[in-house]
Amino acid sequence: MCRRCGKDRNDGENHKMCEIKCHHCGGIHTSTDYICPVIQKYRRELVLELRSRPDLLPAQAQLFIPSECREPGQRTRVLENKAAQHEQQLKINQQQQRSCIKFNCSNQNQWPSLPSSLSSHSTIINNNLNETIKSLSEELRNLKENYAAVQLKIEVKYKNHINSISQSWLFMQQQIQTQNEMFSAMNGVINSTLFSTCSCVTESLAQIVNKLKTETNQNDYDLLLLALQQHLLLINEHKNTYVSHQMNLNQLINKQRAVLGIALNSIIQKPNGQ
């Protein structure tokens, strides 16, 4: 079975270029990859079972314990059958002693050959160390990939947040501009209509009363003319005060807009000039 696509390797297809699809879980990885959740679950169940029955392990076996399968505070990283190893070591020592006795009795100039069991034990240990190193490297690679994925999510979330702030800032600018246009229109209407109309009406009334006074040669209109003149002065004074107040408000609005722009630009400005 091909570990890339899970099909028969003897079907005549090129299984070096076939589609990678795990036949355990359907993920985009080989069926022997340690990132496969099925293999991870199998390894976890196997380690948990062997932790309670280490006597099931052969004497030469050393099984690496993943971090998620360790007990809190446990520093042991390798699971092994220490009783069987001790028994095997006793046998090796006995064989060495018998070889030394045989060597001393037969030929003083000949070195005894190493027991085959000792050589195979050393080979097994080396193989287990290689598997442990490979497993640790794979775990480190998985940690790096997970860290890169988390960083990418944070970066995307940060970009979305910046875009939302930028859009909100544009909306606020449009809203402020609309309000300014409304206030400007209202100010223009008040200046051009209210004050001007009142002034024109008052002046026209004053001219009419003055004309009636001239034609009739009566001084009864003096009090009316005085009242109209005072009313006209009052209107002009209100107009001047209103215009001055509007100018001060416009200056304050411009300052507030500038400060708000600086504050929001400092928030949405990307780091490192990006």
**Between residues 222 and 271, the one the model is more confident about:** 222
Average model confidence (pLDDT) across the chain: 79
What pLDDT, in 10s, does the model give residues 70-97? 777 767 777 787 887 778 778 888 887 7
Burial environment of residue 236 by CB neighbours within 10 A (0 to 12, 13 to 18, 19 or more)? middle
Burial environment of residue 47 by CB neighbours within 10 A (0 to 12, 13 to 18, 19 or more)? middle
The CA–CA distances, whole Å, from 186 to 168, 181, 189, 217, 248 equal 27, 9, 5, 44, 16
**Between residues 111 and 52, the one the model is more confident about:** 52
What pLDDT, in 10s, does the model give residues 152-183? 989 888 888 888 887 877 777 777 778 777 77
HSE-up of residue 138 (Cα within 13 Å, Cβ side): 15
d(Cα 174, Cα 255) in Å, to the nearest integer?
Answer: 17
Model confidence at 189: pLDDT above 60:
yes
* Residue 30 and residue 20 in contact, taking contact as beta carbons nearer than 8 Å: yes
What pLDDT, in 10s, does the model give residues 13-64? 888 888 898 989 999 899 999 889 999 888 888 888 887 887 888 877 877 7
- pLDDT value at residue 30: 92
What pLDDT, in 10s, does the model give residues 202-255? 888 888 877 777 777 667 777 777 887 888 888 888 888 888 888 888 888 888
Model confidence at 271: pLDDT above 70:
no
